[in-house]
Amino acid sequence: MRAGLRWIALLGLLGPGLLLGQTPRLTVYYYDRLPYYGNLNQRPGGMLLDIARLVFDEAGVACDFEETPAKRIPENLKARVNACSIGWFMTREREATYTFSAEPIYQDHPFCALFNQASRSRIPANPTVKNLLQGNLQLGMIEGFAYGDWLEANVAKFGPRVEKVSIGENSDNMYRMLLGGRFDYMFIGFEEATYILANNPEFSQRLGLIGVPDAPKGNLRYIMFSRGVDPGILEKVNAAIPRIRQGRRYRQIISMLAVER
């Protein structure tokens, strides 16, 4: 009898979710980098975070969003079992440590070049990536930041003058360095560039944006999970992604940019 009571008490400690076979809650890490993710109207928001909400709702996965410094997120995912972060590029190094969603949740627009207006006379009207990287210009790149295979291969091929910078946790620091003349231009996703220029008069008046005609479609963005994520969570999320990408709400979120790809 006592053994039976101890067994009942143990089941109670396990919690109702495990007793009923429910999928455990998922911790979703994000950091402040609008328009992708951040805090809007005192709640987690941004384009990719809103897409992630659609995915988790469709999958029936309960989650808690937790703002965390970008550099700390990969370390947290090594330790937490049911945790993920949204919008990461898939690289060989990351695949060796983390589990990625089977499909991306978004594909970026092609890279553009954001430049200091003081350098405008040295930038061709419609520069190719070769024009920029072989020109008499200093390229700014964030130390430790993944830019994707296309851009990283071209930087290695053409060997431009590169200023590697550390921006801490505030991405505005990169734009302020560009304003201050630490480098002449930087490559940036169209989504981020247009958001920054539209929401900061200082940047819009002194920085310019130009397309790169030979830039391919942008990088694919995935959900990056801890290696030990519950298989039930991963299965449900992988099934939900293609469904939400065909849905009206998904198209509404990405159409807010109002540009053709």
Domains along the chain? Answer: 22-107+219-255 (3.40.190.10), 111-211 (3.40.190.10)
Structure tokens at 214: 């030979």
Average pLDDT over residues 198-209: 92
Q: Is residue 145 predicted with pLDDT exceeding 90? A: no
**Which tokens in the block code for residue 160?**
């431009």
Q: What is the mean pLDDT of the chain?
A: 88
With CA atoms as reference, report the closest residue to 155 among 197, 126, 185, 176. 185
pLDDT (0 to 100) of residue 51: 97
Q: What is the DSSP letter of 237?
A: H
14: pLDDT strictly greater than 50:
no
Q: Does position 17 have pLDDT exceeding 60, yes or no?
A: no
Contact indicator for 182, 163 with CB cutoff of 8 Å: yes
Confidence of residue 231 (pLDDT cuts 50, 70, 90): very high
Distance CA 94, CA 101 (A): 12
Q: pLDDT value at position 257?
A: 60
pLDDT digits (tens, 9 = 90+) for 23-33: 789 999 999 88
Tokens of 200: 């900061």
Token match 């540009």: residue?
259
Would you state the pLDDT for residue 3?
Answer: 44
For residue 48, pLDDT over 70 is answered with: yes
Work out the percent of the chain whose per-residue pLDDT is above 70. Answer: 89
Separation between Cα atoms, residue 62 and residue 80, nearest integer Å: 16
Residue 162 has what pLDDT? 96
Q: How confident is the model at residue 169 (pLDDT cuts 50, 70, 90)?
A: low
pLDDT of 71-85, one tens digit each? Answer: 899 999 998 789 999
DSSP per-residue letters across 167-218: -TT-THHHHHHHHTTSSSEEEEEHHHHHHHHHH-HHHHHHEEEEE-TT--S-
Per DSSP, 227 falls in state T
pLDDT at 192 over 70: yes
In 80-171, alpha helices (H): 92-95, 129-133, 149-158
Predicted confidence (pLDDT) per residue in 96-139, tens digit? 999 999 999 999 999 999 999 998 888 888 899 999 999 889 99
pLDDT of residue 40: 82
